[in-house]
Structure 1
Amino acid sequence: MRYDEDHKSKTHKKIVKMASRQIRGKGLAGPAIPTLMKASGLTHGGFYKHFASRNNLIVEAVEESFRELTDTFLKAATKSDSPEGWRGMVKAYLSLERCDKIDTGCPIAALAPEIARAESSIKSRSVLAIIKFRQDILPFMPGNNASEKEENFFIIMSSMAGAVIIARTIPDPKVREGILSSVQNFLLDRFSSF
């Protein structure tokens, strides 16, 4: 059977996208290659036509998860009812729906401790994905200059990711929503002067 020229590229992207969701949901060590391939509707045998190793797929999946988070933030910033795009990002991120969907949620909240302990090949490329994410988001952050925007980026992202991590440990949805809402209100109020 003959495939289109871009069939391999499309299949590769499909595997990476599904792996991105699998690792956010189950962790870096969680899903085995057969599970990752099955989630993409493919067999284990085709894996090495696309990736040299499981680590290569993991790195690409982490990068994909940061691209998805960047896209979510940029959409929220441009749809925001405020000229301050960061406010839309905060509101979109700190929603109960996003908190409850670990597999499509923030890679920082889902994977940061594991990335910190990962092999250097995974860690180094994951750090580059985080740096790119920060660069793409910085223009929307509150602040009067680049230094303030960078400082506020770290404060806002750390607060939001921490809120999601804590909220995910709580079984009661009303309590989870209260945690997210409290942090959202704090951030929106704290940075309103910019």
Structure 2
Amino acid sequence: MMRIMRNTKLNARAAAKDATHERIVSVAARAIRRSGYEGTGVADIMKEAGLTHGAFYSHFGSREAMLAEAAGKACAESAAAVAEAVASAPPDRALATLLAAYLSREHVEHAEVGCPLAALGSETARQAPEVRRVATRHIKEMIDLVARQSPDWGQPGAHRRALVTIATMVGALLLARAVDEPGLSDSLREAALEHLTRAGH
């Protein structure tokens, strides 16, 4: 009986620690997209998660380890949103639906819950190898998802078009967020959307 109670307490403690860990990662995933890798400090993350700074090292071995998990979480959330957009559309409209969602004004205005590739831009190249590995995996997944929407999926042409599509999507979103003129921001994403939609047919 005592062993059962002890195991129950240990399981409850482990579950609580897992939940806390997940909360920290979720907060960090939003923070890196909102403020960038360099603008995301451990103290700020822990405070936003409702925890003390000292509790950080019971969850992560380093700031880089937290950033890698946060990047993974951000990429998973982005991939899920893209997959949902594709699944919600008829097969012949899947790519157009994905493009419209990605290159929307709403996506431009809500970087903290959007695509980490556009939100973190060139910062990723200066991060630790584990962070770059996460970004690379996500880019490859996105390329594959776009290629699978092509009638000639599996052929080199579909893969090449997917490379250009992803590069254009991410670049257009990054620039649309960078400029301080709403009209230019709209023009950048609308021109990219029109070009990619036409190229996808």
Query: Shorter-chain TM-score: which interval?
Result: 0.7 to 0.9
Residue 177 (1) aligns with residue 186 (2): yes
Report the counterpart of residue 66 of structure 2 in structure 1. 57
How does the TM-score come out when normalised to structure 2? Answer: 0.85
Report the counterpart of residue 55 of structure 2 in structure 1. 46
Q: What whole-Å deviation, never above 9, does each CA across 1:117-169 have from its counterpart, x for those lacking one?
A: 2233332343234334444x246432403233322221111111111111112
Q: Tell me how many residue pairs correspond in the alignment.
A: 190
Residue 142 (1) aligns with residue 150 (2): yes
Q: In the TM superposition, what is the alpha-carbon distance from 1:82 to its structure 2 partner? A: 5.2
Residues 129 and 170 from structure 1, CA distance in 2 versus in 1: closer, same or farther, beyond 3 angstroms? closer
Q: Is the 8 A contact 1:141 1:152 kept in 2?
A: no
Residues 158 and 143 from structure 1, CA distance in 2 versus in 1: closer, same or farther, beyond 3 angstroms? farther
Q: Percent identity?
A: 26
Structure 2: distance between partners of 1:161 and 1:126: 13
Structure 2: distance between partners of 1:180 and 1:127: 24
Structure 2: distance between partners of 1:117 and 1:90: 28
Structure 1: distance between partners of 2:142 and 2:72: 9
From 94, 103, 118, the equivalent of 1:94 is 103
Which protein is richer in helix relative to its size?
Answer: 2
- Whichever residue aligns with residue 96 of structure 2, its letter is R
Q: Is the 8 A contact 2:36 2:119 kept in 1?
A: yes
Report the counterpart of residue 85 of structure 2 in structure 1. 76
Q: Which structure has the larger Rg? A: 2
From 43, 61, 76, the equivalent of 1:34 is 43
Report the counterpart of residue 67 of structure 1 in structure 2. 76
Report the counterpart of residue 124 of structure 2 in structure 1. 115
Q: Is the 8 A contact 2:118 2:173 kept in 1?
A: yes
Structure 1: distance between partners of 2:189 and 2:132: 28
Structure 2: distance between partners of 1:171 and 1:185: 22
